[in-house]
Amino acid sequence: MLLEVNDLRKYFPGRGGFFGKTPDPVHAIDGVSFAIQEGKTLGLVGESGCGKSTVGRSILRLIEPTAGTIRFEGTDITRMPSKEMRNLRKRMQIVFQDPYSSLNPRRRAGDIVAEPLLVHGVENRTERRAKTQALFERVGLRAAQMDLYPHQFSGGQRQRISIARALALGPKLIVADEPVSALDVSVQAQVINLMMDLQEQEKLSYLFISHNLAVVEHVSHQVAVMYLGRIVEYAATKRIFERPLHPYTQALMAAVPMPDPANRRRKQHLGGDVPSPVNRPKGCHFHPRCPLAQERCRVEDPMPREVEAGHQVACHLV
């Protein structure tokens, strides 16, 4: 297994607190476990604010987890010293949602892509230039574009630059945090196809974080559905999309437009917003929005259970 995450937690200190009372912590991630095989993609879905991006950043230790373990290629990296961790980051990279704000506008595209090479010891300028040129070509950009600045590229091209930078050191895992959400629909398909081609060529693994179920269904081998810092359903993509079992997954899928009326999923309206992770509802955190909630759901927290081989669900009724 390339990546194994076990009972990962990230609590942020709460703000305020009245009459000397310590404020409650924010449970951004609250006991998340999953694994990613080499050359495979895990799609992590859920509404904004559910903790998906915090999971991605915690895995790379861009933010420090509060508890749990992260194993990468069999090594426990949860408390790895930062010097060793910097070295390991060659093999674990991240691509952000907004390619414009993640690229320095004052640097040429070629220098942006070459930067990780320089940081990790490729000091020869000619060698660096040749490697950067090859990276540009691998992501569908021309070598002549290396001298341009980020604002001279389209949104899709800027995301290609981000991907080239992430590929520079030959990573095994890329955390792709909403990598196409900021792009036009036509461009999204091109960037996704590029990522899938690269996966095949390089045996890359992705943690693909997105709120867009159609995209996740297309790219993922496994899917984990997150709600308020927890995974509520986890299974192979085909299984979860054919037979979602958790009421939250069902509601998310019902919200995806289906072109074929014969194939329409049962409508399950998802009302309200995700509650605050500071004041999480007691019992099942989803109960205030769940159309199937029962008395038990208000008091008892459902634990994830394997309901069939490789399919986990956290719901009293499943």
Least distance in angstroms from the C-beta of 293 to ligand SF4: 4
Least distance in angstroms from the C-beta of 10 to ligand SF4: 23
In the bound state with ligand SF4, the residue whose beta carbon lies nearer, of 108 and 316, is: 316
In the bound state with ligand SF4, the residue whose beta carbon lies nearer, of 174 and 315, is: 315
Pick from 103, 8, 12, 23: which is nearest to 56 by CA? 8
Least distance in angstroms from the C-beta of 246 to ligand SF4: 6
In the bound state with ligand SF4, the residue whose beta carbon lies nearer, of 46 and 116, is: 46
Residues that bind ligand SF4 (CB under 6 A): 247, 284, 286-287, 290, 292-294, 297, 302, 315-317
Pick from 310, 317, 318: which is nearest to 239 by CA? 310
CA distance 14 to 265: 40
Structure tokens at 152: 């001279």
Least distance in angstroms from the C-beta of 247 to ligand SF4: 4
CA distance 230 to 28: 9
Residues in the chain: 318
In the bound state with ligand SF4, the residue whose beta carbon lies nearer, of 122 and 292, is: 292
CA distance 146 to 149: 8
Least distance in angstroms from the C-beta of 100 to ligand SF4: 38
Please answer whether residues 54 and 28 qualify as being in contact, where contact means their C-beta atoms are separated by less than 8 angstroms: yes
In the bound state with ligand SF4, the residue whose beta carbon lies nearer, of 238 and 298, is: 298
3-state DSSP assignment of residue 305 = strand
Helices in the chain by DSSP H: which ranges?
52-59, 82-88, 109-119, 125-138, 155-167, 185-202, 213-219, 237-242, 247-254, 295-299
In the bound state with ligand SF4, the residue whose beta carbon lies nearer, of 228 and 315, is: 315
Least distance in angstroms from the C-beta of 166 to ligand SF4: 36
